[in-house]
Amino acid sequence: MNKQEVFADGFWHNNTIFVQLLGMCPLLGVTTSAENGFWMGAATLLVLLGSNLVVSLVRGVIPKNVRIPAYITIIAAFVTVVGMAMNAWMHDMYMILGLFIPLIVVNCAILGRAEAFASKNSVSAAVVDALAVGLGFTFALLLLGGVRELLGQGELFGFAVFGESYPDVLMFILPPGAFIALGFILAGVNLINRRLKARSDAAKLAMIRAEAVRVNATAVAVEGA
């Protein structure tokens, strides 16, 4: 796989949330607003970058039998670093996300990337993979947070979109709203993917037809000669 394929795969075709449906705990817990979703995604992205980078660096050095505890230790270290940094320099956001930051350790998507990709690929490929998967995760959290904030409170990034008199819609503020909104987003993603597939199928079909016409023409020419 080249770097573009790695990126497209991590960001879209194998998106952690939309396709693999992994890491649902932070997804449901913190996506009450676009801002919360974005920073949770950013924290996860940083952890993923660090863990993919280090796991790729030490691939082949860590004995197979102890690789999982080694990866978990690496991931937990980065999560703690990100948590402390956030506490120091983004104190207010840390107070909101608080509980969910340490939980990044058990986000199976991160261990999944370490095990399935970083431990088998070059450092540069692992970094691209981390960026793609992390940005895809952030995008998903931002989108879901935005939808819930908009429908639940009539705001986006704290700005009133539907006017001040918008009544809070509790269903979208509470966790069930996350499930419902996610369901509609997944339907939308599937629709887009189907369109994309139909388009690429049509392109392939056109290519095959063109090829067939060319072959026919050659055959006719050969016969004529």
Partner 1 sequence: MRFDREQLRMVFALFVVAAIAAILLGLTDMLTREPIAEAQKQALHRALEQVLPAHGNDPQAQVVNVAGTAIYPARVHGALAALAWEVIAPDGYSGRIRILVGVHPDGHVLAIRITDHKETPGLGDGIVGNQPWLDSFRDRSLDNVRWQVKKDGGDFDQFTGATITPRAVVRAVKAALLFYRHNRAAIVARLNGEAKALQTAGSNGSEGGDE
Residues at the site binding partner 1, with contacts judged by CB under 8 A: 32, 58, 61-63, 65-66, 69-70, 73-74, 76-77, 80-81, 84-85, 87-89, 91-92, 95, 99, 152-153, 168, 170, 173-174
Which of residues 128 and 144 has its CB atom nearest to partner 1 in the complex? Answer: 144
Nearest approach, Cβ of residue 45 and partner 1 (Å)? 18
Our CB check for partner 1 shows the closer of 157 and 202 to be 157
Give the integer Cα–Cα distance in Å for 148 and 145: 5
Minimum CB separation of residue 131 from partner 1 in Å reads 21
CB 172, min distance to partner 1, A: 9
Cα–Cα separations (whole angstroms), residue 217 to 173, 192, 206, 208, 211: 64, 38, 16, 14, 10
Closest CA to 104 of 81, 87, 70: 81
* Closest separation in Å from C-beta 140 to partner 1: 19
Closer to partner 1 at the Cβ: 95 or 207? 95
Cβ distance to partner 1 smaller for residue 74 or 143 = 74
Strand partners, 160: 155
Helices (H) and strands (E) in the chain, counts: 9, 2
By beta-carbon proximity to partner 1, the closer residue of 85 and 215 is 85
- Residue 161 has which token pair? 């979109």
- State how far the Cα of 150 lies from the Cα of 185, in Å rounded to an integer: 14
Distance between first and last Cα of the chain: 45
Nearest to 172 by CA among 38, 34, 32, 39: 32
Residue 32 beta carbon to partner 1: minimum distance, rounded to whole angstroms: 4
